[in-house]
Amino acid sequence: MPYTSFASFALAFFLALTPATRADSAQSGSFIVSENGHPVGTAGFKFAPNAAGFESASSVNVQMQGLNYALSKTEQLDTARHLKHVLLSGTVNGSAANVIAKPDGDKLLLNISANGHSSTTRLETHPSAVFLPDFDPGALETLLALAAAQNGRDLWAIIPKQAGSVQPVQLATYADEQGTLNGKTITVHHVVATIAGAQTTLFSGADNQLLQAELPQPGFALV
């Protein structure tokens, strides 16, 4: 979310996924958000193909001591899952914010309304840039799809905080692991994404569907 930092919280996703199907078909995921192993909220996403590419929707609701956070995001993506338009609405501890982002020529236009103020920012545009609010599993699903298509290269994250920024995403791939989903043994891919100096650990299935994400915050241990 814009203008808000979560550096004071140690947060991790522990995600219970409704398995996604192939990347070119409808997908959905339902998740539990946990702090230190204790459920504090829910999150989910839906992807649906259309004539121009994909429609994407994400929702997040977190309620814990010191943080009440809600997010609703809709996106239009092209057939390669490149961003065409995004609308985000959310609240953080009672403060509302709205963000609209879309490519505009050789720039990315970011309109932010928060705390009674509006601002417009033009950021450097990159075809493979993922709009990445806090706690958004749909954004992480898009990141995994782009990483698979591009061998983990030339990935970027649009961070809708303060005036907004675009940050490179560096991926490190680790050995596959074995997991269980719906009672069946599956192969789990393990990657770590470094964005603006912070690491996000992602676990995904054979079709690169998001299974679990651990979102470290400075100074805290993750469960």
pLDDT digits (tens, 9 = 90+) for 46-101: 999 999 999 999 999 988 888 899 999 999 999 999 999 999 999 999 999 999 99
pLDDT digits (tens, 9 = 90+) for 123-172: 999 989 999 998 899 999 999 999 999 999 999 999 998 889 999 999 99
pLDDT digits (tens, 9 = 90+) for 4-55: 333 223 333 343 344 444 456 788 988 888 888 788 889 999 999 999 999 9
pLDDT recorded at residue 24: 60
CA dist., res. 132 & res. 157, Å (int): 6
Distances (CA, A) of 18 to 59, 97, 105, 134, 197: 15, 29, 37, 21, 31
pLDDT recorded at residue 155: 97
Closest CA to 45 of 136, 181, 158, 144: 136
Structure tokens at 44: 């989910």
Helix/strand/coil for 145: helix
Q: Is the pLDDT score of 113 beyond 80?
A: yes
Question: Which regions of 78-217 does DSSP assign to beta strands (E)?
Answer: 83-92, 95-104, 107-114, 117-124, 129-131, 155-159, 165-181, 184-195, 198-204, 210-214
Instruction: Decide: 219 and 209 in contact? Cβ < 8 Å.
Output: no
pLDDT digits (tens, 9 = 90+) for 167-206: 999 999 999 998 887 888 889 999 999 999 999 999 998 8
Q: Is the pLDDT score of 222 beyond 50?
A: no
pTM: 0.86
pLDDT recorded at residue 11: 35
Per-position DSSP letters for 36-65, written without gaps between them:
TTEEEEEEEEEEEEETTEEEEEEEEEEEET
